Amino acid sequence: MSLPEIVSRGEWRAARAELLLKEKAATRARDALNAERRGLPMVEVDEEYVFEGGDGKATLLDLFEDRRQLVVYHFMFAPEWDAGCRSCSGFLDQVGHLAHLHARDTSFAAVSRAPYPKILPFKARMGWTLPWYSSHGSGFNRDFEVTLEREGELVERPGLSCFLRDRERVFHTYTTYERGLDGLGSTTSLLDLTALGRQEEWEEPKGRASAFGAPAGSERVRYHDEYED
């Protein structure tokens, strides 16, 4: 396994200062990208989607809970599956207290294609209290391209969509998929700061993925109640 070069504290400070210049440039680039994202046009959602949640049937407008904005996490959980996606579960584990979003007039909800009676026991197992709805029977997942048809079969992919409400009108403002979710969870964000990184095979420098003889990072992902100490 490869490890970072061992140097003196002075050499480390010099290398850190050089990297800091690049980090500041990346921060400014990220700020500019965020501003450009906020400048995207939006599309009115005319489809009358029907979801099922803890209080029964709900519309997309209901998911806002009377707030101005809505963030939907497209959780991979197909109707024929017995449990939700492990990686999606890891993402939801990182979602903090929703009061901080609510204070900014923004609601958060997870949506999956599995029927709600399947979602409910898995949600209880994971200990989550955040809103989670079933889109079973609607075209929501297909319309937002998180359920795709490939070679005659339906496949799922993770994603996150943002919506804005103007009275009774709902607008779609943004969606990202797969690697676009990378910087949104604290686990990957924190690991990106460490010497071993996410311990994935694609990362540079090579030779750090199988840290201490363990499988590569993605192969170690479990439901949080399945990890051994």
**Predicted confidence (pLDDT) per residue in 89-121, tens digit:** 999 999 988 888 888 889 999 999 999 999 999
The answer to whether 64 and 156 have CB atoms below 8 angstroms apart is no
State which H helix or E strand residue 150 sits in.
strand 147-150
pLDDT digits (tens, 9 = 90+) for 40-82: 899 999 999 999 999 999 999 999 999 999 999 999 999 999 9
- Select the more confidently predicted residue: 193 or 170: 170
User: How far is 222 from 161, CA to CA, in rounded Å?
Assistant: 25
User: What pLDDT score was predicted for residue 9?
Assistant: 97
Q: Of 128, 139, 147, whose CA–CA distance to 78 is shortest?
A: 147
Do 98 and 61 form a contact (C-beta atoms < 8 A)? no
pLDDT at 35 over 90: no
Give the torsion sign (CA, 71, 198, 145, 40): positive
Element (H, E) at 173: strand 169-177
pTM of the model: 0.84
pLDDT tens, residue by residue, 213-222: 666 666 667 8
Q: CA separation (Å) from 113 to 6, 39, 54?
A: 50, 31, 15
